[in-house]
Amino acid sequence: MPTRLTNLVIDSADPAALARWWGEALGWTVSYEDVNESDLTPAPGEPGLELTFVPVPEAKNGWNRLHLDLASRDAAHQAETVARLEQAGATRVDIGVERPWVVLADPEGNEFCVLEHRDEYDNRGPVAAVVAFAHDPAALGSFWQQAAGGELEAPDGPTATIELTTPGPLLEFIRSEAPKTVKNRLHLDVRPYADDDQAAEVSRLVNLGALRTDVGQEQAAPGEVTWTVLTDPEGNEFCVLRPRA
């Protein structure tokens, strides 16, 4: 069986603090924490994708190519969410044009959107979608359908969408001409199903257009890194984790 999407990783100057902030923002709890990561999991019975915050020395540089879209029930709930998050330390981002959604940045500058109500985001939990900029949304969506699973809707337009096999956010690809210039601050992790071979899945994804890359893991001690770092066909980093026992 192929790999499946398991979590979104967010590079952070202070992972513990940023995880706590997002926990308050989403109503989720920190399920694990050590010096290397802080994990945020959905509330019991609520759909969602685990968020993992990890320490990095680099400062944020430019707009993130991946970001979160938050859902709202109606206009009043959208306004209340924006006000609550601004009071908690989010800052409003001026994108220069009027849109029905509001763009904010978390305390470390990561952009995210608080959307107006849309039927397609009902019952997905507080995170409606994980959004990635793409030069070719349909082609990149096709690759990620093979990497993350789910059903792909890729009309001849500026957006391609994957409905994942597990309940939670959509995975969306939005056309952008902006070039990728630095390592992404947010990236996706995929994992083979139990008993599947990690090396075989890495080879399969490479055959589909992924490339191996080094983001510093090759300097680690032998056995310390259990994941394989790849880039998708547009250069976005992601990790292939070991199967979970």
For residue 184, what are the contacts with CB-CB under 8 A and spacing of at least 6?
Answer: 64, 65, 66, 236, 237
Residues in the chain: 245
**Residues of the chain whose pLDDT is less than 70?**
1, 216-223, 245
Is 3-240 a CATH 3.30.1600.10 domain? no
Where do the structural domains in the chain lie, given as residue ranges? Answer: 3-240
Q: What are phi and psi of 231, to 5 degrees?
A: -120, 145
**Helix 75-88 and helix 15-26, axial crossing angle in degrees, nearest 10:** 150
Provide the pLDDT for residue 157. Answer: 85
- Residue 101's Cβ-count burial label (10 Å; 0-12, 13-18, 19+) is middle
Measured distance CA(227)–CA(244) in Å, rounded:
12
Provide the pLDDT for residue 245. Answer: 65
Provide the pLDDT for residue 194. Answer: 81
Candidates 185, 192, 181; CA nearest to 240 is 192
CB 15 within 8 A of CB 53: yes
Model pLDDT for residues 1-35, shown as the tens digit of each residue:
589 999 999 999 999 999 999 999 999 999 999 99
